[in-house]
Amino acid sequence: MADERSLSAERLSVSSIDDVTAEACERVPSVQNGALVHLAEGMLLGGFGPGGAIDREPLVRAALRCLGASNALPRPSRKALEFVEYAFVSERQIVVILRGTLRPTIALALACARESNLAFVLSATRQALGCIEANPELVQWGL
């Protein structure tokens, strides 16, 4: 079993995870760069956009801050709120960070141009993450 898994991992190079992520995120409006993050390991699985892995570090760290540990809002008089999506809207960018639905240990963090519509960005990112999670290569890699 372990051998099988390592063979699968060999078949799926880092660049192919980059491709899977980039392709899934093509329809996100004005997307500039993105990072697929393994929350449990705190590492970048793949990404796209200008620059390399080092340039995606802020997205990885922000994803870990938001979703790496429990960031629930306790409401003593009501049920606690467990957040799965975050959006940071600044003057120049919209950064969205979403936790996987099928695979809650992964998160997708995308930076988009500020001109984009937040609702469209969120809904397109949900779809993109769904496509990534459904990719059989991720299963092969044990994610």
Report if residue 91 touches another protein, rule: CB under 8 A.
yes
The only residue of 8, 58, 103, 120 in contact with another protein, by rule CB under 8 A: 58
Does residue number 27 form part of the binding site for another protein (CB under 8 A)? no
Cα 69 to the center of its chain, rounded Å: 15
Nearer to another protein, 26 or 88 (CB): 88
Q: The tokens of 23 are what?
A: 């392709």
Give me the phi and psi of 95, to 5 degrees please: -110, 125
- Beta carbon nearer to another protein, 2 or 73: 73
**What count of Cα atoms within 13 Å lies in the side-chain half-sphere of residue 92?**
1
Closer CB to another protein, residue 21 or residue 33?
33
Binding site for another protein (CB under 8 A): 58-59, 61-62, 65-66, 71-78, 81-93, 95, 97, 101, 118-119, 122
